[in-house]
Amino acid sequence: MSKAAVVASGPPVEETVDLKDPMVAAILGWLIPGLGHIYQGRTGKGALFMVCILSTFFFGLFISDGKAVYAWWSPDDWRLPYMCQLGVGLPATPALVQSYLVRNGREPLFGGVMAPPADSRELDSWYKELNRYLELGIVYTMIAGLLNVLAIYDAWGGPVQFEEEPSGKPEGEPAKSGG
């Protein structure tokens, strides 16, 4: 089992956090933001990540009428923002199903939420109809995905360890001021 030590400032007190299996924590953290931390017993941090990341993602989806997140790859159109949005995990995966359906000439599910535009004219109409809210939705959902990548790293690597640097002066002696 992997353990990480947390050193508090002041008198050296070591508290260990059982990280369980870091790879499982990272995978769970990708599936649902914060779930890896909850698996490790760091429920406060996990709940905070879950609420913040998912609310950012769903707010971006909401203000864009569900159009900010869609997957599409063709020779003339690579949907690169989706790579960042996919970092949020399962909440972004319906876009893959919607893309498959549209690509194969079927009707998208869920009223077209996360479905790609049929053509460039439809995409243009989205920008005309939603104006800045489409762009803001894309930014919010990308930020949520990228934040979750950092949370996944934290679930995998554990808490940051800080160690005090030795000052080279005896205890109780005030620091000398230069100049």
Encode pLDDT of 66-124 as tens digits.
999 999 877 766 788 999 999 999 999 999 999 899 888 888 888 889 999 888 898 89
Encode pLDDT of 134-168 as tens digits.
999 999 999 999 999 999 999 998 877 777 666 66
Quote the pLDDT of residue 50. Answer: 96
**3-state SS record for the chain:** CCEEEEECCCCCCEEEEECCCHHHHHHHHHHCCCHHHHHCCCHHHHHHHHHHHHHHHHHHHHHCCCCCCCCCEECCEECCHHHHHHHHCHHHCHHHHHHHHHHCCCCCCHHHCCCCCCCHHHHHHHHHHHCHHHHHHHHHHHHHHHHHHHHHHHHHHCCCCCCCCCCCCCCCCCCCCCC
N-terminal to C-terminal alpha carbon distance within the chain: 51
Cα–Cα distance, 4 to 156 (Å, whole number): 11
What's the pLDDT band for 19 if we cut at 50, 70, 90?
confident
Quote the pLDDT of residue 14. Answer: 63
